[in-house]
Amino acid sequence: MHAILAIIKTCLKDKLFLAAGRAGRMEFWVFTLFAILIRIILFPLNMISHGAMLLGMVYAIINFVIFVAHYTALIRRLHDTNRSAVHVAPVFIGLLLIVGAVFSSIPMLVMAGEVLSVGGLIYVLVLAVLPGNKGSNNYGPEAPTYR
């Protein structure tokens, strides 16, 4: 339990805006589960607060902080496998294609964006499952271990 709290503190406080360095599998996946749980808990609260603008803003702020922390943890996880953040680019390019297609009414562009985003997401998740490099690599010393 202490390790879980230490990981959450590391991702939300110590390394919130820090993409440099490395994150081991345990750090990334524990924080991923935490991020999913927080969103599952907060989403219904956001839905029932229809007219309460303050609650909607609080939800948006919390969701943004969780997104940033999760994104930087993913980059550090890729660094642990000696890969750069460029591997996340297909996901974001696909999302940009979808947004652009919605505004320009081009259905094929939406489909291309969806394929690129989903394919990129699967690729990044596979990379996140791979073991990290032992010892130092291009992104720093070995990721810290939690016990």
Beta pairing partners, 140: 137
Main-chain dihedrals φ then ψ at residue 65, nearest 5 degrees: -60, -45
What local confidence, expressed as pLDDT, does residue 52 receive? Answer: 72
> pLDDT tens, 86-145?
999 999 999 998 888 888 888 888 889 999 999 999 999 999 999 999 999 999 999 888
- Residues 109, 91: Cα–Cα separation, whole Å: 14
Do 23 and 141 touch, CB atoms closer than 8 A?
no
- Residues 9, 119: Cα–Cα separation, whole Å: 31
- Region of 132 (left: φ > 0; alpha: ψ -120 to 50; beta: rest) is beta
What does the mean pLDDT of the chain come to? 91
What local confidence, expressed as pLDDT, does residue 17 receive? Answer: 93
Write the single-letter amino acid at 127.
L
